[in-house]
Amino acid sequence: MTATEFRILPRLTDQNRHFWQGGERGELVFLRCQRCGTYVHPPSPICPVDHGKDLKPAAVSGRGTVAAFTINYQPWIPGMELPYVIALVEIEEQPTVRVQTNIVGCAPEDVFIGMAVEVTFEHRPDPNGDVWLPLFTPRAGA
Amino acid sequence: MATSDAYIEKRCVISGAGQSDVARRLGRNPLELTLDACLAAIEDAGLEVSDIDGLSTYPGAAAPARGFSGGGAYEVIDALRINVGWYDGGLETSGQLGSVIKACLAVGAGLCNHVVCFRSVWEGSAQGSGGRAAVGMGSEAQSGPFYASGMTEYALPFGSASAACWIAMYAQAHMHRYGTKPEQLAQIALNSRRNAGLNPKAIYRDPLTMDDYLASRMITTPFHLFDCDVPCDGATAVIVSRAETAPDLRKPPIHVEAVGTAMHDRPSWDQLKDVTRMCSHDAAAQLWSRTDLKPSDVQIAELYDGFSFLTMNWLEALGLCPIGESGPFIEGGHRIALEGELPVNTHGGQLSAGRLHGYGFIHEACVQLWGEGGARQVEKPLEVAAVAAGGGNTCGCLLLTKGR
């Protein structure tokens, strides 16, 4: 995994903690409509499909597919080791849910669209609440 | 035009266009640049400030990053003591040109007769010596504890700190699906630089070769340095007027034939249904539903190029080439050159003429339709221009005509 000295962390709120801290238990977590089963991301107070308000955090398998990616060489943020791969990963349970993430655990030039990946978490301690960033790595055996 | 006469944008014309000085860095009061552009456009239309009774701007005074706004609606209304029948300034609209389209709606609704519409930036000065990252969305990280929230919450923690990264992923996916080649993408930048060489106000005017392009620094694949527009200082304004006033105006009116504002997808850069398709397709489809003209009628296209791929996206969205075929369409650059069958970004686009953020394109379309392009004027007589700005979920477009 790329050793990155610095990351800008998300501002934790009651609405997003499940996503950013699910990694403490090794889980990728999204809000899920308890009535129709739709995963909702980013978090919303209402299900976009049936407008139900009973949404609860639910873990998914952590498996996904690279839908798009870019190898970034530009030092936008001081302290991030270059280059790094930014990707959109579609989750297995519901491909309409995409996460923007980094692909780690392989050379940037080995990333491809359609690549099978699985989640891995990068723990970032922070005084305002630790964050476990969901990153993705090539899926073993895929 | 019988089937579509009802649409109220057809009651509007663009009567004047103006621009302040434009440069990489001017170091001047941004509001002064804004007022220079507004006054130039008002004069261009043959109007007095006292004739102006509407004002529209993007994004308004509240800007998400330094240099992103050189003045809001209230500042300009107050500086020029305009009595407005209607005004608006805001970011949540169909791209930068959404502000021009809103002006058309207000004129069509009878709220005002002459609307000054403007977009003003000072990103060149704001960036100082810090480079582009200094005005990016992570810039505040340098001034103390900073946490990502709002639209960047799910991007910044992964170093996805610029629209360059977001749009690069669309470009990469387009290459994957349709076989688009880097040398084809390059033609957007090369074409813009050729045209900029003929535009005295353009920022980068020296010739750019394919070798220069391919050897330039990679920013985020597939975008090289020259695929990214250049932050600058400058303001641009156009006047939207009620068509009935045209006989009293100085210049031949440019008619607003149709507009497109639709967004049939999530307001997001990373949750759109298809990673090769943006809301530009929705806006463009709506535009064509409001006119009897066809894509084949378009003679010039001024298409947003904040990043080069966006121009290709708009070519496809507007039906100026088939979906997926913008690469072959622009290959070699002849078709989109000034002397080609569809001249594109005739002033040099934002890549070479400066990131005037959407309004540079509508200004240039007017300049070309009025035949005022000087060395870069397209030779054939022009009647129909397509103008588009934005990308991702923030897209708007207009079809402009003259003498029809």
Residue A79's pLDDT is what? 87
pLDDT at residue B140 is higher than 50: no
Query: Which residue is closest to A103 within chain B, CA to CA?
Result: B158
Confidence bin at A49 (pLDDT 50/70/90): very high
In this predicted structure, the answer to whether residue B315 has a pLDDT above a threshold of 50 is: yes
- Chain A contact present for B164, CB below 8 A: yes
Q: Does pLDDT of B139 surpass 80?
A: no
**A68 in a structural domain:** yes
CA dihedral sign of residues B193, B138, B152, B232? negative
- Judge whether B14 is closer than 8 Å to chain A, CB to CB: no
pLDDT digit string, tens, across residues B9-36:
999 999 999 999 999 999 999 999 999 9
Cross-chain residue pair B158–A133, CB shorter than 8 Å: yes
In this prediction the pTM is 0.96
Counting one residue from chain A and one from chain B, the pairs whose CB atoms sit within 8 A come to 119
For tokens 């990728």, name the residue. Answer: A28
Q: Is the pLDDT of residue A142 over 90?
A: no
Confidence of residue A35 (pLDDT cuts 50, 70, 90): very high
Q: What is the mean pLDDT of residues B137-144?
A: 49
Q: Is A102 at the interface with chain B, CB within 8 A? A: yes
Residue B138: pLDDT above 90? no
A88 interface with B at CB cutoff 8 Å: yes
B111-140 burial by CB neighbour count: b if 16+ within 10 A, else e?
bbbbbbbbbbbbbbbbbeeeebbbbbbbbe
pLDDT range class, residue B133, cuts 50, 70, 90: low
Look at B143 and B169; give whichever has higher pLDDT.
B169
- B148: which chain A residues are within 8 Å (Cβ-Cβ)? 8-11
Is B91 in CB contact (< 8 Å) with chain A?
no
pLDDT tens for residues B253-299?
999 999 999 999 999 999 999 999 999 999 999 999 999 999 999 99
Nearest-CB residue to A71 (from B138, B149, B221): B221
* B163-178 and B182-196 helices, crossing angle to 10°: 130
Task: Kindly state whether residue B176 falls inside one of the protein's structural domains.
Answer: no
DSSP letter for B201, please: T
A140 touches chain B (CB under 8 A): no
What's the rounded Cα separation, in Å, for the pair B156 and B100? 31
How distant is the Cα of B149 from the closest Cα of chain A, in angstroms? Answer: 6
On whether any CB of chain A is under 8 Å from the CB of B81, the answer is: no
pLDDT at A4: 76
Q: Residue B129's pLDDT is what? A: 72
Query: Nearest residue of A to residue B131 by CA position?
Result: A76
* Residue whose entry in the numeric block shows the structure tokens 């006469």: B5
For B339-361, what is each residue's pLDDT tens digit?
999 999 999 999 999 999 999 99
Please report, rounded to a whole number, the percentage of residues in chain A having pLDDT higher than 90: 91
* Residue A35 domain boundaries: 17-138
> Is B290 inside a domain boundary?
yes
In this predicted structure, the answer to whether residue B63 has a pLDDT above a threshold of 90 is no
Pick from A90-104, B123-137, B152-166: least confident: B123-137
pLDDT above 50 (res A1): no
Taking the CA of residue B302 and the nearest CA in chain A, the distance in Å comes to: 27
B273 part of contact set with chain A, CB < 8 Å: yes
Question: Are B148 and A10 an interchain contact pair (Cβ–Cβ within 8 Å)?
Answer: yes
Residue B149 domain-assigned?
no
Measure A11 CA to nearest chain B CA, in Å: 5
Q: For all residues of chain A together, what is the average pLDDT?
A: 95
Mean pLDDT for B190-201 is 98
Q: B201-216, pLDDT tens digit by residue?
A: 999 999 999 999 999 9
Instruction: Please indicate, yes or no, if residue B183 is contained in any of the structural domains.
Output: no
Q: What is the pLDDT of residue B134?
A: 57
pLDDT at B128: 82
Residue B173 in this model has a pLDDT that exceeds 50: yes
For residues B367 and B373, the answer to whether their CB atoms sit within 8 Å is yes
Mean pLDDT of chain B: 95
| d(C-alpha B321, C-alpha B342), whole Å | 10
Cross-chain Cβ contact A102/B159 below 8 Å = yes
Mean pLDDT of B382-389: 98
Say which of A16, A102, A113 has its CB closest to residue B158.
Answer: A102
DSSP 8-class letter at B344: B
Chain B residues within an 8 Å CB radius of A80: 159
Q: How many domains does chain A have?
A: 1
Q: Do A10 and B160 touch (CB under 8 A)?
A: no
pLDDT for res A3 = 58
Task: Count CB-CB contacts under 10 A for residue A112.
Answer: 10
Residue B174 domain flag: no
User: Is residue B329 predicted with pLDDT exceeding 80?
Assistant: yes
Do B174 and A67 touch, CB atoms closer than 8 A?
no
Task: Check A8 against B218: CB less than 8 A apart.
Answer: no
Number of domains in chain B: 1
Q: pLDDT higher for B208 or B138?
A: B208
In the predicted model, is pLDDT for residue B238 greater than 90? yes
Residue B381 predicted with pLDDT over 70: yes
Cβ–Cβ contact B241 with A under 8 A: no
In a domain, B177, yes or no: no
Domain span at residue B261?
Answer: 2-127+230-401
The nearest CA of chain A is from the CA of B212 a distance in Å of 18
CA–CA dist B340, B344 (Å, integer): 9
Q: Is the pLDDT of residue A23 over 70?
A: yes
- Contacting residues of A for B65, CB less than 8 Å apart: none
Q: Residue B132: pLDDT above 80?
A: no
